[in-house]
Amino acid sequence: MTGSGLQLSAEYRRDSSWVATSRPRLSWVFTEAPPGWCQAAAELRLNDGRTEQINGSLNVFVGWPFEDLVARETYQVQVRLQGADGIWTDWSDPLDIQLGTLAQGEWQARFSGLAAPRQEAQPFIIRHRFLLDRKPARATLYWSALGAVKARIDGVDVDDSVLAPGWTSYADRVLHETTDVTALLQPGWCTIGLEVTGGWYTEVYGFADEARRVYGEQPYAAAQLHLLFDDGSEEIIASGVDWETTADGEVVASGIYEGDTIDHRRSLRWWDPQEGDWEAAAVAPDQPVPVSRMNEPVRRVNTLAPVKVSSSAAGTILDFGQNLVGRLRIEVQGAAGTRIEIRHAEVLEDGELATRPLRRAAATDTFILSGTGTEVLEPVGTFHGFRYAEISGHPGEVDPERVRAIVLQSDLRRTGWLETSNPLLNQLHENIVWSMRGNFLSLPTDCPQRDERLGWTGDAQIFAPTAATLFNCNGFLANWLVDLRAEQDRAGGVVPNIVPNVFGFAWAAAAWGDAATVIPTVLAERFADNDLLSKSLDSMQAWVSSELAAAGGPGLWETTLQFGDWLDPDAPADMAGAAKTQPGLVATAYLYRSLDLFSKAAVHLGEDESAAWARASAEDVRAAFAAAYLTSDGRLVSDAPTAYALALQFSLIQDLQTREALAMRLAHVTKRDAYHISTGFIGTPLVLDALTDFGYDSHAAALLLQTRCPSWLYPVSMGATTVWERWDSMLPDGSINPGEMTSFNHYALGAVADWLYRRLAGIAPAAPGYSQIHFAPTVLPGLDHATATVDTPAGRTQGGWRREQGVIHWKLRVPAHATAAVRLPGIELEVGPGVHEWTTTEPPRTAAASVHMWSPVSEVVDNPDAFATVMKVLASHDGHLAEMVRRRTDWTLSTPLQIALFSVPPHVLNQIAKELDA
């Protein structure tokens, strides 16, 4: 809510006032504070007139100062702030807060379903008719499912959620939704109904022959309606055997991977007592007690129109211009029995849908028309990852104006925006945003399109800093961490590679299990969520203990199966873990990092004994790392960018002279690889920081702005609109990578966006919740400007730089609840709230030397136009030859180009020479 420039919120919810705790924390931002203003105190006021004053500058997750909330009561709270000058602001607009959870023992509803389902994962409808003799003063509906459910009263949706209540570790936790339905109830006969599909609960998980239903064969649903009347009396209506069920609705079959089959001839107005064949409900054998949702549900967040229509062998292909996650909505007229099939894919191959990357996911929705006029087709129990949709069986020509792609996402608030002078870099950023949007759906998934869509812990921890910048994902990840801790407890302290753990087994895998230490740390840093850090401390300790046990003590971790630097671009298509960096080096680095993070969290939370143990163990690991992997000449035994980035960014090597030597070697191997990306999942988020920390800005620029494969911008140059799983998911000739894992929407490699905000534009948190901002942008050659805007818990900040005729203009907006440490060339100072500007003179740059065939390889590589010319000529004669040259890691950079290309045919060398001379 806003009033007098004050934005007030409670807990994690974005727009809804429902909270999952009786003591909700409050946060506020003063958006219209004058320059230099700072908060000295805050006063909170309830609608009954009671007030509480809180002295100091705290504005994020402030503890609830009043008595506990009571279910089915509405509270209104306001805030006003006092500045250091003693002047109070006006009161904010009131924020309605309601407790979304039930008291212990209040849940009465039984999870119920079909007594005699006709098939596995049978969709069904469950309803209950009741007579209201008067209008309730308040009606609250609590509803849940082992599956996915849409709740309606007399045919009207009770809310706008999709696939509710979402996917959790069902053995440990099932969510329920809470909705005020007072406006939907009038005196007379009323019917409450739940339309249920299997969703994630009945999905078949696993690969190839091992795939199976993990949770249950059939879905179930539960609902509980609380009616409060003006005289204080209350009535509860709860699902159970006295409710009615039917499988005769229009949803014939539904699966997350398979898609929906919907027959409009079976459309059922189930709130009409005269329609349908009904039988008594059967209750589920196991009855969980659901808990209230703490974060936003999945919603329809956007709608896209087709941008191109083409024909295929089977029908009409629509191109929506954007790889997205969601489903199609079509308006159509046709004869009864007309069967329309919709298939989905992320890319085309030879003009047809490329479905091989989907593996066993059919990703197909089928509709049968009723012939009753204009019909709206949209699936209800599934979602797809696609840019292209093929419609077959459509009566007549497909009218693109009557087709829309509905974008689905957990409804997170966007918080990060970036703009630079490079259009490809801007598109990369938007691709990263879209990949997060598509994969933050109920839980953080690895991909949204194939027969996987699992909560891989490694992907989530790698991407967490970027996620926390692009969207307010604090509640989303906090919700997922509840399941992570539950799955970890079941595995004896080991964090499974996926959460929820549908594989059923777990082993300690570095960088994947480290989600237990990394993500709580990130959320504490970016959102000042101290309570979450406290709740995660035992999980952090259990994980580092599991790591130490797997390693055999505080030393090298080289004894267990590891993913390593997953999807190193030099790994074979069918061996994703065959990276240049030793997996033991990666595992040992992460062992140190998690011990370090746990030690710092324990210190912060006052657990000094645990902190001391972790610190001592970390130092032993660091010593072992240096002894085993650091050579006498300042190199690492894995002479690869990921190894150097890990050693530098995790502070495994602390001697400054040695660190400088490692950074110099990192710069060398980056240049040796001709500024092509040479890192997988592990090294990619770290390599640019490791370069720019030591002043290798030109190397970082060449790496970041590279457009040849593999690079961040290569997919953009190939028309990508999301981040790919592999650097070369699509090969330069337009064919699809032959590897089995080839997703075109996979956010891990998009973790570079965190660097773009922190280092390129210079907006970095220096204290929890951005209460202090570190502003030290990196002016990269090849760019003329870069600006970032971030809605932080301290307020909106904006910063960046612009190059104009040898002068750098710097600008920073500091929000009301923050200060900033500014570190610019020749300028070091602290500033408070307001807009600040500076100018500095840019040192002149040395012009690139002219290049010819006898120039050293180093000069050719450093000249983007010259190197592009060499690669263009090689590729025009032999693509394999060009790839071989690109992958040369044995180049002596001082060797003349003529000699370095000794294996190239003479006529090709002659053409290269002519092109360079030109």
How far is 196 from 111, CA to CA, in rounded Å?
12
How far is 378 from 367, CA to CA, in rounded Å?
9
Q: Tell me, letter by letter, the H, E, C secondary structure of 515-580.
A: HHHHHHHHHHHHHCCHHHHHHHHHHHHHHHHHHHHHHCCCCCCCCCCCCCCCCCCCCCCCCCCCCC
Please report, for residues 141, 186, 600, 770, the alpha-carbon distance to residue 180 in angstroms, rounded to integers and kept in the order given.
Answer: 6, 14, 43, 35
Residues 6+ apart with CB under 8 A from 538: 485
How far is 729 from 573, CA to CA, in rounded Å?
10
CB 358 within 8 A of CB 311: no
Amino acid at 577: G
> If you count them, how many residues does the chain have?
918
Starting at the edge strand that comes first in sequence, how are the strands of the sheet with 95-99 ordered? 18-19, 95-99, 74-83, 39-46, 51-55
Secondary structure class of 398 (helix, strand, coil): coil
What is the per-residue pLDDT across 364-412, written as a single tens digit (0 to 9) for each? Answer: 999 999 999 999 999 999 999 999 999 999 999 999 999 999 999 999 9
Cα 825 off chain centre by: 35
Q: Could you count the other beta carbons within 10 Å of the beta carbon of residue 356?
A: 13
Amino acid at 184: L
pLDDT score, position 891 = 64
pLDDT score, position 389 = 98
What is the per-residue pLDDT across 113-171, written as a single tens digit (0 to 9) for each? Answer: 999 999 999 999 999 999 999 999 999 999 999 999 999 999 999 999 999 999 999 99
Gyration radius (Cα) of the chain, Å? 29
Amino acid at 564: G
Amino acid at 716: V
Nearest partner of 744 among 717, 760, 718, 720, judged by Cα: 720
Secondary structure class of 28 (helix, strand, coil): strand
pLDDT score, position 889 = 58
Q: How many CA atoms lie within 13 A of 183 on its CB side?
A: 6
pLDDT score, position 2 = 47
Mean pLDDT over the full length of the chain: 95
Q: Please classify residue 656 by burial: count the beta carbons closer than 10 Å to its beta carbon, then call 0-12 exposed, 13-18 middle and 19+ buried.
A: exposed
Q: Please classify residue 530 by burial: count the beta carbons closer than 10 Å to its beta carbon, then call 0-12 exposed, 13-18 middle and 19+ buried.
A: middle
Q: Please classify residue 67 by burial: count the beta carbons closer than 10 Å to its beta carbon, then call 0-12 exposed, 13-18 middle and 19+ buried.
A: exposed
Please report, for residues 302, 385, 458, 722, the alpha-carbon distance to residue 434 in angstroms, rounded to integers and kept in the order given.
Answer: 12, 11, 19, 6
Catalytic (active-site) positions:
452, 725
Q: How many CA atoms lie within 13 A of 449 on its CB side?
A: 30
pLDDT score, position 3 = 56
Nearest partner of 376 among 264, 296, 466, judged by Cα: 264
Q: What number of H helices and E strands is found in the chain? A: 18, 46
Secondary structure class of 151 (helix, strand, coil): strand
pLDDT score, position 16 = 66
Beta strands in 569-677 (DSSP E): none
How far is 124 from 198, CA to CA, in rounded Å?
9
Q: Please, what sign has the CA dihedral across residues 499, 503, 504, 508? A: negative
> Omega into 288 within 30° of 0, i.e. cis?
no
Nearest partner of 415 among 767, 37, 872, 792, judged by Cα: 792
In degrees, to the nearest 5, what angle opens at C-alpha 477 toward C-alphas 21 and 322?
130
CB 221 within 8 A of CB 111: yes
For tokens 């503890």, name the residue.
63
How far is 564 from 556, CA to CA, in rounded Å?
14
pLDDT score, position 208 = 75
The partner residues of 254 in beta bridges, in order of sequence, read: 260
CB 544 within 8 A of CB 595: yes
How far is 599 from 615, CA to CA, in rounded Å?
6
pTM above 0.85, yes or no: yes
Pairing of strands 291-292, 175-180: parallel
The partner residues of 112 in beta bridges, in order of sequence, read: 221, 283
Residues 6+ apart with CB under 8 A from 815: 29, 33, 770, 792, 794, 795, 796, 797, 833
Q: Tell me, letter by letter, the H, E, C secondary structure of 491-520.
A: CCCCCCCECCCCCCCCCCCCCCCCHHHHHH
In the chain, the N- to C-terminal Cα span, in Å, equals 63
Where the chain has pLDDT below 50, the residues are 1-2
Q: Could you count the other beta carbons within 10 Å of the beta carbon of residue 593?
A: 24
Cα 28 off chain centre by: 25
CB 178 within 8 A of CB 100: yes
Q: Please classify residue 844 by burial: count the beta carbons closer than 10 Å to its beta carbon, then call 0-12 exposed, 13-18 middle and 19+ buried.
A: exposed
